[in-house]
Amino acid sequence: MRRRLSARLLILDPKGRVLLFRFVYTRGPLAGRDFWGTVGGGVEEGETLAEAAVRELDEETGLQRADVGPEVARREVALQLPDGEHVLQDERFFLVRADGEELSRARWTELEREVMVEYRWWSMDELSQTQAIIWPTNLREMVEAALCNA
């Protein structure tokens, strides 16, 4: 199984809520999957983790930063990509504070436009109480630890 390095973002608004996108797959290998997840994606050839995080932040939200700061969390998870490939994903998380709630979808890929059906800012209490599938499952603890170490 190929190892895939991924930059993920814990984006917080001024109220301390974390941004999540809802991914709904209606076709292909992931058909039937419906979950909420953080912003981010794979590191491209020749790119550093921090560069990938800055790029993903801009592409998926329209938020622009010259730097996203230090890595605040890490996890490894075996998962299936939309093309069907199974990978061991090495996810590195960065904490970003957003000034507001408005986002841009202008730079989304065709796949993102298809599967990223909505976004929402979640409070820590909402994360603890929801029946929805949230990735990573320990997101609240991850955000709280990042804030304590920031």
Average pLDDT over residues 109-135: 96
DSSP-assigned beta bridge partners for residue 11: 96
Which pLDDT value is given to residue 75?
Answer: 96
Average pLDDT over residues 131-135: 97
Sign of CA dihedral 60, 64, 66, 71: negative
Gyration radius (Cα) of the chain, Å: 15
Task: Read off the pLDDT of residues 70-102 as tens digits, 9 standing for 90 and up.
Answer: 999 999 999 999 999 999 999 999 999 999 878
**3-state class of 2 per DSSP?**
strand
Which pLDDT value is given to residue 100?
Answer: 80
User: Domains along the chain?
Assistant: 2-149 (3.90.79.10)
**How many CB atoms are closer than 10 A to CB 42?**
14
Which pLDDT value is given to residue 149?
Answer: 85
Question: Pairing mode, if any, of strands 134-135 and 34-37?
Answer: parallel
Dist CA 53 CA 38 (whole Å): 12
Question: What pTM, to 2 d.p., does this model score?
Answer: 0.95
Task: Read off the pLDDT of residues 100-117 as tens digits, 9 standing for 90 and up.
Answer: 878 999 999 999 999 999
pLDDT bracket for residue 131 (50, 70, 90): very high
Which pLDDT value is given to residue 128?
Answer: 94
